[in-house]
Amino acid sequence: MRTLRDISLAIMFAAIAATAAATVDTEALAKQNGAEFHWFPIQKTFILVDKADTLKFAVGLPYATSHGQTVELSRAPAIEGGHIVIDSADAAKFFKATPATEKPASSIAAKSSDAKVATSSSASKTSVAAKPATPKNETAGTREVRTIVIDPGHGGKDTGAQGKNSNEKDIVLSIGKLLKKELEKEGFNVKMTRDKDVFIELGQRANLANQWDGDLFISLHCNAIDATAERKKQIKGYHVYVLRAPESEEDKAIARRENKVATLYGEKNAKEELSPIEWFKLEARLEKYKQNSYMFTEEMLKAMDGGKIKRQSGGVGGAGFMVLVGALMPAVLFEIGFISNPEEEAYMVTSKAQEDIAARIAKAVSSYKDAVHSYRETLGR
């Protein structure tokens, strides 16, 4: 006669067997369906790629991205016995049921209606970006560069960083206006999120850029540190930032400072830092614009080199700047120099400096436009 302990053990082993049977080895699944499998151990993410789509997963997060949309999974991918596995029901959402010996013409199938519902539901609940007013006919970054959106940071009640004799909001507005004139001379259509001393919420800035169907978004700022007078004299230089997961505590701190305005003035859905799951959901959309953001960053470095303000470290960084999150186009945040540094502050407030900085940014924009045009020609566009 079976004891209660025997029955309990049987139930437990049955549950374990059922769980094991309900998971699929992702590497084997990709091979069976003619897709590529790539594992990124540091980030604990993996992708499955074929001609139809690129699926992205993260171990421990119950979401995937497909065609730039977030899809909710039955359960999070996991590492079991040295293999990366997903739920068999989740595998069925993306892959056609084909025998192992038969190679399908298109391995990653269109999502089922249930998956579409999950996608739209998840995106609507967790989206951290404002939607554009109208859909674009061609993704920004692959079309000709015509409309440039200049975003002078802060404004109005938000002074931004403060130097000994100036405010960040005033310096970046002056440079923004000069930049607009320079770009218009080159034939660009130029929009400014603000052209006077007014306060514009961070989320609204990106939304305006989307409504204007921008091809490039440039947010202008002045950097600052809270330190001793001697330390302030030592820390200086310009820095160009793109929207990506931060790689240093310094980049995180700068993003928190720039984002603090949103929480300070009670902006809806405001936060100083993005969570890992928000980064994961953003990455598929950012992939459309990431390469072009880096292209423009390279042109910025070339144009700024030789100027009075030198690079800080490598001159390039990345973090979760909320002003960039909603911009559906290549975008950068440019920290022109340190307003907390007496030497750089004294320089940035002069007309000569502002004209030079604006001219250098305009040169970078023109060079970027030429680079995109050349790339389009290679594609036969």
Whether residue 132 is contained in a domain is answered as: no
Average pLDDT over residues 138-162: 90
Whether the predicted pLDDT of 16 surpasses 50: no
pLDDT at 101 (0 to 100): 32
The CATH number of whichever domain residue 272 belongs to comes to: 3.40.630.40
Does 135 fall in a domain? no
Residues 159 and 82 in one domain: no
User: Does residue 138 sit within a domain?
Assistant: no
In a domain, residue 137? The reply is: no
* Together in a domain, 101 and 167: no
**Could you read off the pLDDT of 94-142 as tens digits, one per residue?**
886 433 333 333 344 444 334 433 333 333 333 333 344 444 557 777 7
Q: Does one domain contain both 117 and 174?
A: no
Give residue 228's domain range: 147-378
Asked if the structure places residue 179 within a domain, the reply is yes
How high is the pLDDT of residue 207?
A: 87
Do 281 and 361 fall into the same domain? Answer: yes
Tell me, what DSSP letter sits at residue 209? Answer: H
Are 109 and 184 members of one domain? Answer: no
One domain, residues 82 and 161: no
Please calculate the CA angle 234-238-242 and round it to the nearest 5 degrees.
130
Whether residue 72 is found in the same domain as residue 201: no
Query: 306: left (phi > 0), else alpha (psi -120 to 50), else beta?
Result: left
My answer on whether 257 and 117 are in the same domain is no
Structure tokens that stand for 127 in this block:
């989206």
Stronger pLDDT, 100 or 43, i.e. the higher one? 43
Q: Provide DSSP, 8-25.
A: HHHHHHHHHHHHHHTEEE
Report how many domains make up the chain.
2
142 within a domain of the structure (yes/no): no
Q: What residues contact 284, with CB distance under 8 A and at least 6 apart?
A: 56, 65, 66, 68, 69, 70
pLDDT in tens, 234-251: 999 999 988 865 555 665
Is position 229 within any domain? yes
Instruction: Assess whether 308 and 350 both reside in one domain.
Output: yes
